[in-house]
Structure 1
Amino acid sequence: MIPVDVVLIGRNEGARLVAALTSVMGQARQVIYVDSGSADDSVAEARRAGATVVALDMSKPFTAARARNAGFAALKDPQFVQFIDGDCVLIDGFVQAGHAHLIANPDLGMVTGWRSEIYRDASVFNQLADFEWRRPAGEILTCGGDMMVRAKAFRAIGGFDPAVIAAEDDEFCTRLRKGGWRLERIPREMTRHDADTHRFGQWWTRAVRTGHGFAQVGDLHPDYFVRERRRVLAYALVLPILILVALLIWWPLAVLLSGAYALNYGRTVQGLMRDGLPRTEALCHALFITLSKFPNLIGMATYGLRRRRNAQMRIIEYK
């Protein structure tokens, strides 16, 4: 068997975890399941499937980064590690393809592939996630949490930062690049994900978490998430303040300023269509992308307040 191990993390994933375990067993030399205080039968299911279980000490704040580090630490002599989340299934063939690509390119610290939604059309929120995952193959700056990492590279940068509660994968990849490693997405299906997002409140909370990631990772790496943070501040803070001031001074100016949202929406629709999204979906997706700046701002402000108060960085769960 090729020397690839799997670290799978989860919390209360239920049937999704069973599917994830089924997909990885037999594809890896070692399978580690890291549980973060599940109240369901996740631990029993993992043991039944033959995985080694690591239960996190929940007296400390849980983060996905901390769970992945714990999984890596439990491996025996790892060489290449496939990380996946407990709401994903691993596609047959990716382990072999990823391993071969890393062997052929010793300067690569990590490879990833394509993730897609199992139930893409179950909701517009699942569609948004599916489109978010689909990015061009080739050399990349960062990726999501599903990735195959060279153990040497993982050790060299000290693994994931356990204090980062969102976008911990972006932060990890940024340090990999700064450590001299290249990152690449190969043109292969890697995982299928079950976002299970059907309510507006779930989407909103996920967008709050994203904003927290923009701020925290941007604080650690000021050269990253620059455009994202500027857009949030422009459309969710500066522009609303200008519109309110204009309403007090001369209301037609407020109407003119409000047109900036329409222009931004229109540009987003055109961009989504250029990237291959059908027009009807692009019109809908663009609405949520435009609106997302407001929960993003809440997330950024939440991080700022936590940092100022020296408070613990606790996760923001959306499902």
Structure 2
Amino acid sequence: MKSKPILDIRDYHVSLWIQEMMTPVIRGVDLSVNRGEILGILGESGSGKSVLLKTFLGLMKASSYNITSGEVLFDGLSLLDLTLAERTALLGKEIAFIFQNPTQTLSPFKTVSWHFKEVFRIHGLDYKIEKVHEVLKDVGIQNITAVLNMYPYQLSGGMGQRIAIALAVVLNPKLIIADEPTSAIDASLKLKILELLSKINTKYNTSMILVTHDFDVIKRITHQTAVMYGGIVMSYGDTNDLFSKAVHPYTLGLIKCANALKGEAHEIYQLEGYPKSPLAFTAGCPFAERCAYKSSICETVIPKAESFAGGYYRCCNPILEGGFSAK
């Protein structure tokens, strides 16, 4: 019997305060993360990836958004029925969040050691130096005693990211959410960070969500992938299936762009146009004006979720006949 997902998001809607009005930004998202699974959330800037996650965790200013409907279950617990304080209490112990630039989330006036002690103190736990040393070793930190006495400004980008991951892992959370975990580090360190996250996932059986616009991140370590656009999940399913059997025009366009940049295409390819601002959202498919396959219906309704290859997609005119070519 298949176990229940560690995180289950159902018909989730969020409005943000934009230009003195509450504007719909997340418009009915359905996602789940199984235990021990890595889910990648892929999409261009402004697609709603970070807003989706930060709002139900209470990581944005409360007056800046409104969760208008939906359900978010974490390990069977309804997060939206909890107070903000109760949700915050879960952070670090049950759910860990790794921000895009870790050195900016660390106090510049406190040592690395202080940050670990603070994680234990906030959750009313005794400080376990042995556990700290274990996770620092797991993330590849050498000279652990010296590093614990450093301040954030003394850390390189790669070391800061490793410290952030270690802080996320130290209390053995059930779910780790990483927001663009490789964008703030040198390209040469990206592979090491991805290998590190995969190692943590395997050793601790920790579920993960990786928010990114980087195909290498998605293809290398995720099990499931959700492709977002205009506050909607356009494609969702097994990562390998999603990219080998892409049926949504937006997903296919992203694959073509990535292949062109890697020199795997005969010519440079780019998606025409730009993502819509939430202020310009209409009742139709948000991708319609950029889509080569659009028809009149695309401009009047948001497509329903249709099952495909164990996942789903939202498109009135999917690319199904005869497969596809990403080159």
Q: TM-score, normalised by structure 2?
A: 0.25
Which structure ranks higher in relative contact order (CA pairs < 8 Å, sequence separation ≥ 6)? Answer: 2
